Structure 1
C-alpha cells in the first residue's frame, strides 16, 4: 500500500477477544525504558556519590556515527529532570568528555543521540539534534579550565531504549589507538582477515569493531552445529591501506572422525554468486575499497548422516595482487539432529541457503492452466490459440472466452487483422523480417514451449529466441545485426488488430478508456511506460518493448530512485515511440525506433513481451462465497458478522513486522488453527517490496551490496540510521511498534528466500494465502508463489492490492498494466487506494479496477468505494477496516438470493437480458434462470434520472405477468421499494439499485 499502507490497526487487543483466539503480544510490543522521541535511543548511566557544583565524566561510548561532535547530549538527574548546566569537552567516536552540575547524589543518565522526527509518521524524517549551549555563563566561569580537578562521576553501564535498539558488540568501534596498534603489528599486511561466527554478524563496513581490534586478525573459525544443520559463518576482509580487487574463495574438504569427510562442495560463499531469482547461476565480483570492511558470508551444509565429532578444513581467500590467506575451519558436529536444517529458528541464519533456492522453478502447470498443445506452428493454451508466422511472430491470435467471462464460446474471436511484422526500412524500401520455413517449436514442459528463428530484414541479419507459456505470455529476444554499415530510416514492429477487438486501451500515459482513433507516444524516463494493453473484454493483448538491459523499476513512491532503463534499440536516443491508428480495415499499433546508422557487426536487441488476455475465466460463484474481514480480531465475532476469510495485515500481534512473518509463528499458527476449526480461512500480508529491520538476515543482506537492498540516500527512522551503513532507501515505518523497513531491489535472490519462506509458512503455520500490497516482484516469482501454495492448499487465495500509481511520483503507470503479468496467478484485486470511484467512467471501472477483462474479479478500497457501481462488477468493500466499511447488508442480500448460484451477465455483454436504454445508467444481471434474477443498476448520469428497464424475460426464464422488482432495504444502500416491470425507476446520480425480480 506504499505510503498509504495499512498500519492503523496495530498491536491492540480488541475488546471481548478471548486469549485462545488472539495471540499475546510479545516481541511485537517492545517495552521502552524511556521516551525515545524525547531523548533518543541510547544512554550511559553514571553514578555521582556526593552533590557537587560540577562533576566530570568521560564516556567510553565507542560510537559508530561519523560525527559525534555534531550531535547533542542530554543529561538528566536522579529525578529525571533535564540538567541545563552541561559543558562539552573532547567529543569523538571513541569517547565523550562532559561536565555537568550535580545538585544531588545518585544516578544520572547521559543520552547521546537525541533526535527530532518530522514528516509523515509512516515515512519519518529523523534528524539528530545539534549541540546547544544551555549552561549558565556564571556557572561555567567558576569551573576554570582544569576540569581534571573536578570530582568524577563513575560510569556504570550502557543502556538502550529497548534490546532491539541496543548497539551490539559488533557496533562498538575500535579506538584510533587500538587501530594504530593493530596496524603496527601487521604493517606489511595488504589486508587482514577476521573469521567470525554467525552469532556476531558484521554491522559496520567503514571501521573495525572493538571485538576484532582487541582479538586481532587470523585464527580459526570455530563453531558447533547439529547433524543436518546449515551452518552460516563469516570471514571479514579489511583493506586498511589499499583497495582490494576480485576477492575469491576456495574450500577444502573437512576431515572428521574415523575418516569421515564433509566435501568442499557442501560449502558456499554467498557474496560471490549463486542462483538468481530466475533459476540461473551467476557470479558476482567482490572488491573492497580502501578502509572498508567486507564480510564474506559462507554456508556449510552439514549432512544429516554426518558422524558426530570435530571436522577440520580450511577456506582460502585470495585477491588480485595480494597473497592468499587460509582460514582454518574447526566445526564440532554434535550428536543431535537438526530439524529442517535448523530453519525453524530464523536467528540461527540457517535460512541463508534459501537465497539460492530453485523451489518451484520449473515448467510445470499451475491451475487452472492446461498443457500447451503444439500442432505445427499453432500453439493452444487455455481459451486461446497462437498461430506463428515463419518469422516466429504471431500470424494470428484467437480467443474462445465468452463475453460473460465465465466460460468458452462456440466460435473463436480473432485478434489480428494481419500478421505481426518486424520491418527494417532503408533507402531501398521497407524490408519485413523473413525466415525460411516454419519455426520449430520445442516443448520445455507442459507449461512452456520455445522456438528460434534466423533470417534477414534488408541489410540486417536477425535471430529470434521466443517462448510461450501456458498463461499466455509470449517472450521475444530479437537480435538484429548489421551485415554491413547501414543507414536506416526506421526499425519498427507493426501489430494490426481487428477493429472490433481494439475497443479499450490503457497505458502509454492513458488511463483505461475507449481506444483512441489516433494517438502517439514517445519515450520518457520520468514515466514508467514501455507498453500498453488493447482489447475487448474477452480478447486482448498486452505488450512491452524492452532490450537486453531491462531491469524491473522500483514501484510506488520509489520509481524515480530506480526508473525504467530506456531500451537502446526502441528508444534510439528519443527518436522512438508508438503510434495507434484506426482505419476501416484495422487498428494498427506501430512501435517505431526512427532513423539511425549501424556499423558492420553491430547488434541491437528489439525485445518484446506480449500477453494474450483474458488469462482465465472469472468465477463469480467462488467470489461471492468469500466474505473478507480485514483486521486481526475475535474469530467468533468475525464469523458472526458473516465473514469467512480473514486478511491479517502487518503490525498485528501475530504478524508484527512488515514482510517478515516468521517471528510470531506459534501465535500465528494458533490463530489459523482456531480459524480452520470454525471453517474460516486466514491470509497474511507478506511481500518483498521492503524488508523489516527485524529480519535477522538484514546484516548479511547488507554485505551483498545492492543485490538485495536498493541504493539510496539513507535516512528514515532512527534504527535505520543508527544500525545500517547509510546507502539504502528508507521505507515503511510503524510508530506503534517501532517497525522500520528498507526498500529491496526489484529483482534479487531475496525472491528465492521469499518462496522458501512461503513454503515454510504453508507447511508449518497453515496460511491459506496472501494479501499482497504493491509487490515488487515479477511473473516468474508470482508463478512460483502460486506453485508452493498450491502444493499445500487445494485452493489458495492470493489477493493483490494496489494504490493508484497513475501519478508523477510513480511514473504515471497504470496499476493494472504494472501488475498484469501477475494476474494469471492471483484470485482477486483490491484496486484500491487513491482510485477515484466517482469521477471515472464505466470503461475505466471495467479495464482499470474490475479485473474482469483479464479473468479476475475485485473489491473496492478508497473511501469504501461506490457500492452501486461496484455491484455492476461484483465488487463490494471490506469489513473491519473502518466504520464505513460495512458490506454486511449486501452479504445478507446476496445470501438470501443465493447469488453464488447465479449466472453473472455484465452490462458489457452484447445480448445482456436487462438493459436501461442509456449509456450513463447501466445494469448487470445475476440470473438464476427460472428462479429469479438480481438486477444491479448504477448511474453515471449527472442528475437524477428515471429509467425503464428493457428485460428479456424469456432469457431469464421468468413470466413477466407474475413479476415485480423488489428492493430489499439495505442500510446505507437502498430503501425498501417495489416496482412493476414497466415502471420508471428513479436513479440518483452516482447511486443505483439492487432489485430482485420475484
Structure 2
C-alpha cells in the first residue's frame, strides 16, 4: 500500500438537533484535539462560580454502554476539571456534577479515546471512567447525596458539537428513550414488526435501536418525496422486528397512478436487499430474515421515466414475511416538470447511483484490444498467438505458443507445451481409467471473445460431464463433474499435465517463489496458505493452473487473507489426502494433481474444477513502455513535465482525490487538473480500486444494510468514526490520519463491482481520466475485463498499471503477487512490483518471473528502496519519480540521447541474443538500433569480477574493427569508461554498466 499523502485541514461543525439546543458564541476553543478528548461534546454555561453545579446532557447515545466510557469536563481556562462526579449515566441522558471555579462556558467531552497501533491501521480504545474527584469535595459538594444534589445550581445547556461535521451524530443516530419506545409500542400492541418509511436524506444508521425521529413520528404512514423526470429515486423502509424474529421478508409494489391516467409501472421499482444482478451479470435472490429486536433498512429505488407527466403518483409497497401480517406503505411521489441530468448521478449524495449495483455495463463477450476472435477449426481453437487442441474428453491434447523469445512478435515454429494430452484419471482396483467421451467436443461460439463446449462420458466406474470454455485472453475454465452410479472405492482421482521439458523452464506458486522448475517437488493443501495452483513455463510459452471446486470463493488479500481464507476444495483436498507433485520424467515434466483414496456413495458427485491460462497473453511493446514515464504523486504539472514525466498517477489523500476508492467528491478539481494535463500533452490516472471503501462514501449506510454482501464481516474496531457510526461487524482497513479518512474492507466479489464499473464509466466520460493506478486489487478478471472495456470506450489511450506489495509472507498466505494477479495481466499495461520485493538478494529467474512481467506480456518498474538500477535495465525497468531511493531522470536522458524508443530490446533470456557473457551470474540485454547498440550489463556474482562480451557482429550490423564501446557518465549509476571489444570488463557485485557499442 502506497503511503504518500497530502494533509487536509479539518473543519469544525456545530450541530444542534432542536431549537432549544442551539449553540451560542462561546469563549471555548471550537477546534480541539480529538485524540485527547474524543469527537463529541456538549457545552454548558455556568453563570457564576460554584462549589458544584449540575449538568444534564440529553445525548441519546447509540453506544450500548455509555456508563463504561469516561467523561472529561474542561473549564473556560482550558483546564480539565478533576472534581467531577457521574450522577446517572444511560443511553438517553447523562447527569453529572462538577466544580465550577469560574463562570463561563464548560465543555463536556463524553467519548474520549486513546489510539494505538500503526497510524494507517489505528486501534481506538475508549477510556473507562476513573475517579479523579477529591473525597473532601465529594462530601462538601453533595454530589453523592441525591437530596442535596437536586438543589445544586443547574448549568445551562448550550448545544452539542462534533470535532467536524462528518463526525457529528445525525438525527438517525439519536436514540429513542425507553419511554418513547413504550409509547410507540402502545399504539401497536400486537404488531410483531413495525415499518418506518424514510427518505434518502435520512439513511438508517442504527440496526439495534430506533431513532428519536421515528419514535416521535410513529410507525407506518405514507412515504412522500419529490423527484424529477428521469431521476432515480432511492428511499428506505425500516423494518423493526420488535416482538419476534421475522423470516423470509418479501417486497411487492403496485403500479404508480399519476395525472391524467398516466402510470409508472411496478417494474420500475426494486428492493436492493432482496437480490438483483451479481457481478457476473447473473440474477440472484437474497433470503432475508430479521432477528428479534433488530432494525432492517430495506433500500428501494424508483426509476422514473423521462416521459412521466409531472404531478403526483400514488401506489403501494407491501412487505410480507412468514407467519406475520403483511404491511403496506402508501407511496406519494411528486414528479416535477424538469428532467434530471444523468438520472441524478452527478450528485452522489442523491443516492441515485444505488441503481449501479445492478448494472450489466460491459458485461459481454466482445473483444478487448489487442486480443483477436477465438477461431474454431474442428478440435483446434485459436487465439492471439496460441492454439489449443482438444481431446475427446474435452481437455487440452496440445497447446502451442507462437510467441518468440523476444516477446515482441511471433516465431515461425511454435513452442508446443504438452508432451502428451492432459488426462483426468480415476484409479480403482482395476487400474487407472482416463476420462473420455465417445464424441468430439461440440464447440459453441458465445461471441468473438469466448467459446464453450460440453462432453459426457466416463472415467472408469464414474460418469463424467465436462463443461468448459476458452476466452480470447487464454483463459480455459473447466467444471468437471464425476458421479458414482454405485458405491465405489477409489485409490485416487488425479489430473496429469505432461509438459515438454523445454517448456517447463521456470515455476512459481504452491509455496515456491519464481525460479527454475524443480526436478522433484511435492505440495499439500493448507488453509493457512493462499495456494491452489502454479505457473510453469518458458518466457514465450507457459501454463498457469488453479485447482478448485463448486465452493470456490475468492479469498481476501493484502493483510486480510486470514479474515477470509481459501475454501478448501472438497474434491482436490479430500480431507488432506490431496496435493500436487512435479517431476522430471525423461523428456517430459509431469505435473500431477492428486486427491488420494476415498469412497463414493451411489449418486454422489464430485466437482474437479480447473482454471488454466496459457501465457504469454500478448506481446510486449518496449517503445511504448520507454515513452511513458511515470510521476507517481500529485503535483504541479509544469514541474512534473520539466522533470521528464508525462503520465501522472494521482493517489488518494490528495486535493483532487481525497478519499480512498471513492473519487467522486471533488469532480471540479479533478476535471480541472486533468484538463490542464491534457493541454500539456500529459495523461492523468487515478487511484481507484475496490479492496476497501472510504467511510466518506454516501452509499455506505445502504451498503451496510445489505449485510455482508459488500462489506466484509469482521471484529470491528479501528478508527473512531467506524466504531461510532457503523454497526460493529466489519474489518477496519486503511486510514489516513491527515484527513481522517477511514475505510472498511469490501467482501471481494459483490455488486459493488457493478457500481465500480459504472463509476469508472462516469469518470471517463465526465472527468476525462486516462486510466487507473491499481494498488493490490481485490477483484477478478470478470471485473477487470469490464474495466478495460469502459476505459477503451471513452478514452483514446487508456493506461492501467498494477502495484503490489510482496504477498509472499505468512500474513498474506504465501501467495506470489504474480500468481495472485496473473488473471488480470491480459487487461493491464504495466506492473509496479513493488513494496517488500527484494531486488538485491534474488536470482535472475526470480526477477524474470516474479517482477518483470515479461513472460506474460508486460513490462514494469521497481519500487522498494529504489530497486537495483543495473539489474532493472536488463528488463527495461527503472524506478518512478518522485520516490526516494532512486532517480530515473539521468537514465531517461541516456535513453533519449541513444533513442531507446527506436531500438529492439533483446533480453538475456533469448537463446540467440547478439550480446552474451557466457555466464549465469553476469547477464546482458541488448537494445539494438541501426548501427549502434546499448548494452545493459548486471551482476549477481558474489564479489568483484570481470566479463568478456561475446558479440554477434553480423546480427548487430557493426564492424568489429571500427567498433567503440563507451560507458557514458551517469550520475549515481556509473563513471565514464571506454572499453575495446574483447576487453575484460570489471563488474562490481550487485552493479553493472550501460554501454554504447557503435
* TM-score category (smaller protein): over 0.9
Q: Which moved more, 1:451-460 or 1:975-984?
A: 975-984
Q: Distance in 2 between matches of 1:678 and 1:37?
A: 43
Structure 1 residues 32 and 431: CA distance shift in structure 2, 3 A: farther
Q: What CA distance in whole angstroms lies between the structure 1 residues aligned with 2:556 and 2:4?
A: 25
- The corresponding residue for 2:881 is 879
- Say if 1:645 and 1:680, in contact at 8 Å, map to a contact too: yes
- State how far apart, in whole Å, the 1-side matches of 2:926 and 2:833 are: 23
Measured after TM superposition, the shift of residue 979 of structure 1 is 1.1
2:26 maps to: none
| 2:12/2:164 contact within 8 Å kept | no
Q: Deviations over 1:140-167 (max 9, x none)?
A: 1102203111000011111000000000
Long gaps (5+) in structure 2: 15-28
What residue in structure 2 maps to residue 704 of structure 1?
Answer: 706
| 1:103 Cα deviation after fit | 1.1
| Matching residue of 2:997 | 997
Taking the aligned partners of 1:948 and 1:977, their CA distance within structure 2 comes to: 15
Distance 1:357 1:874, change over 3 A: same
Q: For residue 255 of structure 2, what is the aligned residue in structure 1?
A: 253
Q: Which residue of structure 1 lines up, in the alignment, with residue 975 of structure 2?
A: 975
Q: String of CA shifts for 1:421-452, please: whole Å, max 9, x gaps.
A: 11101011111001012100000000000000
Match of 1:167 among 169, 182, 195: 169
CA apart distance, 1:28: 13
Q: Aligned to 1:11, which of 7, 15, 39? A: 7
Paired residue for 1:773?
775
Question: For 1:606, what is the secondary structure of its paired residue?
Answer: strand
Corresponding residue number in structure 2 for 1:379: 381
Q: Deviations over 1:497-552 (max 9, x none)?
A: 00000000000000000101110111000000000000000000000000001000
Match of residue 800 from structure 2: 798
Match of 1:87 in 2: 85
- The TM-score, its normalising length taken from structure 1, stands at 0.97
Q: Distance in 2 between matches of 1:794 and 1:392?
A: 40
Task: Report how far residue 960 of structure 1 moved.
Answer: 1.6
**Which structure ranks higher in relative contact order (CA pairs < 8 Å, sequence separation ≥ 6)?**
1
Q: CA deviation at 1:830?
A: 0.4
- Runs of 4+, deviation exceeding 6 Å: 25-32
The match for 1:607 is 609
Q: Which residue of 2 aligns with 1:342?
A: 344
CA distance in 1: counterparts of 2:805 and 2:762, whole angstroms: 29
Are the aligned partners of 1:28 and 1:737 in contact in 2 as well (CA < 8 Å)?
A: no
Q: Distance in 1 between matches of 2:512 and 2:896?
A: 39
Q: Within 5 Å, which residues of 2 pair with 1:419-818?
A: 419-818=421-820
Q: Does the aligned pair in 1 maintain the 2:5–2:738 contact within 8 Å?
A: no
Q: Which residue of 2 aligns with 1:16?
A: none
Superposition RMSD in Å = 1.2
Give the match for residue 288 of structure 2.
Answer: 286
Which one of 803, 828, 837 corresponds to residue 830 of structure 2? 828
Q: Give the Cα separation in 1 of the matches to 2:973 and 2:185.
A: 77
Whole-angstrom CA distance in 2 between matches of 1:572 and 1:918: 46
Name the SS of the counterpart of 2:356 in structure 1.
helix
SS at match of 2:501: coil
Per the alignment, residue 15 of structure 1 pairs with none
Structure 1 residues 53-110: Cα deviation after superposition (integer angstroms, max 9, x where no partner)? 1100111100011110111001111122111111111111111111001111111110
SS in 2 for 1:737: coil
Instruction: Deviation per CA, 1:434-478: give whole Å up to 9, x if none.
Output: 101210000000000000000001111011110000000000011
Provide the C-alpha distance between the structure 2 equivalents of 1:672 and 1:622, rounded to a whole number of angstroms: 21
- The residue number in structure 2 matching 1:19 is none
Query: Greater shift after overlay, 414-423 or 951-960?
Result: 951-960
Structure 2 counterpart of 1:77, from 70, 75, 78: 75
Worse-matched range after superposition: 58-67 or 176-185: 176-185
Moved more, 170-179 or 671-680: 170-179
Query: Counterpart in 1 of 2:136?
Result: 138
CA distance in 1, matches of 2:12, 2:805: 27
1:12-51 to structure 2, matched below 5 A, reads 33-51=31-49
Which residue of structure 2 lines up, in the alignment, with residue 901 of structure 1? 902
Contact 1:485 1:597 in 2 (8 A): yes
Q: CA deviation at 1:795?
A: 2.2
The separation in 2 between residues aligned to 1:28 and 1:512, in whole angstroms, is: 52
Show the 5 A alignment for 1:230-249.
Answer: 230-249=232-251
Cα pair distance change 1:263/1:669, threshold 3 Å: same
Quick check: 1:256–1:262 contact (8 Å CA) kept in 2?
A: yes
Asked if the contact 1:472–1:612 (Cα under 8 Å) also holds between the matched residues in 2, the reply is yes
3-state SS in 1 of match to 2:891:
helix
Distance 1:441 1:794 in 2: 35
For 2:473 and 2:358, locate their aligned partners in 1 and report how far apart those are by CA, in whole Å. Answer: 26
CA contact (8 A) 1:32 1:162 kept: no
1:803-952 equivalences under 5 Å are 803-882=805-884, 884-928=885-929, 930-952=930-952
Distance 1:795 1:518 in 2: 46
* 2:13/2:164 contact within 8 Å kept: no
Moved more, 950-959 or 496-505: 950-959
In the TM superposition, residue 393 of structure 1 has moved relative to its aligned partner by 0.3
CA contact (8 A) 1:746 1:776 kept: yes
Tell me by how many angstroms 1:50 deviates: 1.2
SS of the residue corresponding to residue 554 of structure 1 reads coil
Contact 2:749–2:779 (8 Å) recurs in 1: yes
Distance 1:105 1:899 in 2: 76
Query: Match for residue 986 of structure 1?
Result: 986
2:318 to 294, 311, 316: 316
In the alignment, is the contact (CA less than 8 A) between 1:694 and 1:739 conserved in 2?
Answer: yes
Equivalent position to 2:122, from 121, 124, 127:
124
Change in 2 beyond 3 A, CA 1:437/1:431: same
State the alpha-carbon separation in 2 of the partners of residues 577 and 366 from structure 1. Answer: 36
Conserved 8 A contact 2:581-2:592: yes
Equivalence for 1:966? 966
Residues 926 and 933 in structure 1, CA contact (< 8 A), matched pair in contact too? yes
TM-score between the two structures when normalised by the length of structure 2: 0.97
Report the secondary structure of 1:843's partner residue: helix
Asked whether the equivalents of residues 11 and 29 of structure 1 are also in contact (C-alpha less than 8 Å), the reply is no
Describe the SS at the equivalent of 1:465: strand
Q: Is the 8 A contact 1:11 1:28 kept in 2?
A: no
- 1:205-284 to 2 correspondences below 5 Å: 205-284=207-286
Aligned length: 980
The offset of 1:32, in angstroms, is 7.7
Q: Give the equivalent residue in structure 2 for 1:113.
A: 111
SS in 2 for 1:37: helix
Report Cα offsets for 1:328-358 as digits up to 9, x if no partner.
Answer: 1000001111010000000000000000000
SS in 1 for 2:195: strand
Contact 2:12 2:31 in 1 (8 A): no
Task: Give the unaligned 5+ runs of structure 1.
Answer: 13-24
